Amino acid sequence: MSHHIVEVRDLRFAYPDGTEALKGISFRISHGGAVAIVGGNGAGKSTLLQHLNGCLTATSGTVIIGDTPLTPGTIPRARRCVGMVFQDPDDQLFMPTVAGDVAFGPLNAGLPPDMVEQRTASALERVGMTHVRERPPYRLSAGEKRAVAIATVLAMTPDILVMDEPSSNLDPRARRRLIELLLSFEHTRIIATHDLELVLEVCTRVILLDAGIVVADGPARDILGNEPLLLAHGLECPYSLRPARPR
Amino acid sequence: MGATDWIEIGRMDDLARLDTPMHRLDARAKIIVTLAFIGVVMSFPPHALSALTPFLFFPLVLIYGARIPMGPIVKKILLAMPFALAVGIFNPFLDRRPVLAIGPVTITGGWMSFTSILVRFLLTAGAALALVACTGMVRLASALGQLGVPRVFVVQLLFLHRYLFVVAQEGRNVLRSVTLRSSGTRSLNLGVYGSLTGNLLLRSMDRATRVYRAMMARGFDGEIRLVHPHQVRWIDGAFIAGWLAFFALGRTWNLAGGLGHWLTGVIP
């Protein structure tokens, strides 16, 4: 059995106001892959991600993590397995210090203090943020906050990393660091983003969503190089894949 | 400057990270002593004034011992001051009995009780703020849980503190966008403020939901756990015993009055 597998079967979800955000989504992501979920605004990307660790409960359909279907009883286990990096790091960082925030997950998992400290130190080192460990999170720059938010999740040693718009609001240098970091992970990575150049560098597979359904699922270069398909669904070809046009 | 700096909520957390003997005391000991302090100060009769003055010693020892600057504490006391004023403002009109005459000036019972309310407010608010500044909200919440306060209240307290930052941030964003589009007009009509407040509430609720989800995603189950749980030392016991003895003395005898009497008796 592998914990690294994520499978979604005919997932449907409607918000309380009746908006149908997901209309029957199915896919399977196996061990160690890096998969991008792309689509225009309102395509259902964030809603889909929030189903993967039980933040939202599907109207119908199944989410399977490893070989366990997500149910109210299995959610705590799934949350240890699926690390979620939220779109806005300010939502994710709530303790008075960076170290306190990174230690929050391991402490809740009931680990002994020395192991909590070891996990905290190694997660902060992994993202290059050891120097800010005693600072309050709200005083960090956007890039530092993002890195610390990733550390808070790494400290829980998840098998699967789920990230919502990880490169938004980052300057080019911070974005580059993020890409290097994403490339260095061996986890199964699921990344929802509009940053298609990042997708080209990090992901091998792309799932294209529009209006709550999967409209394409395949190798990243094939989908991101298909200009008519992308234009039809509110996206455009990444610059590096655009055919040269006469000026 | 962030919104949190604007109302200086973050300042208390900054102060709580200092390392002084007062910070190193067990949070439970500080809570017990502060609660006893508040209880004793509130138990004095309505006109008590001189008997309250020795109690100023406790918040001052906390503040100076923890090397907390007076500025942030005074600012927050002033912020809450209108509530204390509202409680006592009618006393001078309701109670006009003369109780003291200093030369030609006669002081009525109403003014005495009004001043007493303000002094009590200064003492208790000062002590509570000093407690937060030398302990930190997370340690306080954890200690309250250890002292047997039901988990639901402790979690409420912690979330209230966390969401203050959230509301402040959202409020700051909304106000900025209003200022940018109000062409220098200072007074906006009531309808605009109504919709602003509603908007602020909805935005804060959305954000609070996201914060809550982030906590749940990292296994939060309502119990606050600390990296370095505190070991109770003899100094914590001595801190409790010493202050409780002082409070008992101060409540039983008017220490300030006694000192004055002693001084005026010795020096003719």
Q: Write down the pLDDT at residue A3.
A: 66
Rounded CA-CA distance A33/A4 in Å is 9
A156 touches chain B (CB under 8 A): yes
A187 falls in which pLDDT band (50, 70, 90)?
confident
Do B13 and A107 lie within an 8 Å CB cutoff?
Answer: no
A142 touches chain B (CB under 8 A): no
Nearest residue, CB atoms, A53 vs list B10, B13, B217: B217
Averaged pLDDT for residues A2-25: 90
Per-residue pLDDT tens digits for B21-32: 899 999 999 999
Do B2 and A138 lie within an 8 Å CB cutoff?
Answer: yes
Paired tokens of B166: 């959230």
Is pLDDT above 80 for A131? yes
Residue B213: its chain A contacts at CB < 8 A? 50, 55, 86, 91
Q: Which residue does chain A place closest to B139, by CA atoms?
A: A96
Task: Provide the chain A residues 24-83 that lie in CB contact (below 8 A) with chain B.
Answer: 50, 53, 55, 76, 79-80, 83
| Cα angle value B150/B151/B153 (rounded, 5°) | 75
Question: How high is the mean pLDDT of chain A?
Answer: 90
Within a domain: residue A1? no
Work out whether the CA dihedral B110, B113, B118, B121 comes out positive or negative.
Answer: negative
Q: Write down the pLDDT at residue B104.
A: 80
Averaged pLDDT for residues A93-110: 87
Is pLDDT above 80 for B56? yes
A17 touches chain B (CB under 8 A): no
Per-residue pLDDT tens digits for B207-261: 888 888 888 888 888 777 776 667 778 999 999 999 999 999 988 888 777 777 7
| Structural domain boundaries in chain B | 1-149+230-260, 150-225
A141 touches chain B (CB under 8 A): no
CA B5 to chain centroid, in Å, comes to: 18
Is pLDDT above 50 for A2? yes
Is pLDDT above 50 for B4? no
Is pLDDT above 50 for A1? no
Q: For testing the chain B interface, which of A117, A138, A153 should be mutated: the one with the most B CBs within 10 Å?
A: A138
CB distance A161 to A83 below 8 Å: yes
A128 touches chain B (CB under 8 A): no
Averaged pLDDT for residues B54-78: 91
Is pLDDT above 50 for B97? yes
Is pLDDT above 60 for B55? yes
Q: CA of B103, closest CA in chain A: separation in Å?
A: 55
| Cα angle value B228/B230/B233 (rounded, 5°) | 145
Q: Write down the pLDDT at residue B186.
A: 65
> Sheet harboring A68-69: ordered strands across?
A20-29, A6-14, A60-65, A68-69
Paired tokens of B111: 């003014």
CB distance A107 to A116 below 8 Å: yes
Q: Please tell me whether the interface predicted TM-score (ipTM) of this complex is above 0.85.
A: no
Do B17 and A97 lie within an 8 Å CB cutoff?
Answer: yes
B124 falls in which pLDDT band (50, 70, 90)?
very high
Task: Provide the chain A residues 86-125 that lie in CB contact (below 8 A) with chain B.
Answer: 86, 88, 90-92, 94-97, 99-100, 103-105, 107-109, 113, 116-117, 120
Work out whether the CA dihedral A70, A75, A81, A87 comes out positive or negative.
Answer: positive
Question: How high is the mean pLDDT of chain B?
Answer: 84
More confident site: B93 or A243: B93
Q: CA of B197, closest CA in chain A: separation in Å?
A: 21
Averaged pLDDT for residues A178-207: 93
Rounded CA-CA distance B76/B124 in Å is 13
CATH number of residue A51's parent domain: 3.40.50.300
Within a domain: residue A145? yes
Q: Could you give the residue ranges of the DSSP H alpha helices within B134-224?
A: 137-146, 151-181, 190-217
Q: Write down the pLDDT at residue B2.
A: 44
Residue with tokens 């106000």: B175
B162 touches chain A (CB under 8 A): yes
Do A156 and B216 lie within an 8 Å CB cutoff?
Answer: no
Averaged pLDDT for residues B77-105: 84
Nearest to A194 by CA among A236, A136, A144: A236
Q: Which residue does chain B place closest to A157, by CA atoms?
A: B218
More confident site: B66 or B155: B66
Is pLDDT above 50 for B92? yes
Do B136 and A96 lie within an 8 Å CB cutoff?
Answer: yes
B55 touches chain A (CB under 8 A): no
Q: Which residue does chain B place closest to A153, by CA atoms?
A: B218
B100 falls in which pLDDT band (50, 70, 90)?
confident
Q: Which long-range contacts (CB under 8 A, 24 or more apart) does A13-17 make?
A: A13/A47, A13/A51, A13/A56, A13/A58, A13/A59, A14/A59
Helix axis angle for B137-146 and B9-16, nearest 10°, is 70
More confident site: B107 or A209: A209
B266 falls in which pLDDT band (50, 70, 90)?
low
Q: Write down the pLDDT at residue A14.
A: 94
For residue A62, give its domain range: 6-238
Do B227 and A120 lie within an 8 Å CB cutoff?
Answer: yes
What b/e string do you get for A24-40 counting C-beta neighbours within 10 Å, with b at 16 or more? ebebebeeebbbbbbbe
Q: How many domains, in total, are found in chain A?
A: 1
Within a domain: residue A244? no
More confident site: B50 or A234: A234
Q: Write down the pLDDT at residue B137.
A: 86
* Residue positions counted in chain A: 247
The pTM is what?
Answer: 0.75
Q: Write down the pLDDT at residue B228.
A: 66
Is pLDDT above 50 for B1? no
Provide the 8-state DSSP code for A37: E
Is pLDDT above 90 for B9? no
Q: CA of B10, closest CA in chain A: separation in Å?
A: 9
Rounded CA-CA distance B55/B32 in Å is 16
Is pLDDT above 70 for A203? yes
Averaged pLDDT for residues B147-158: 85
Nearest to B115 by CA among B196, B44, B216: B44
Nearest to B124 by CA among B50, B252, B33, B37: B37
Within a domain: residue A95? yes
Q: CA of A36, closest CA in chain B: separation in Å?
A: 21
Is pLDDT above 90 for A219? yes
Residue with tokens 């602020």: B200
CB distance B253 to A191 below 8 Å: no
Q: Write down the pLDDT at residue B7.
A: 55
Within a domain: residue A88? yes
B97 touches chain A (CB under 8 A): no
More confident site: A131 or B10: A131
Do B227 and A94 lie within an 8 Å CB cutoff?
Answer: no
Averaged pLDDT for residues B157-185: 77
Residue A103: its chain B contacts at CB < 8 A? 227
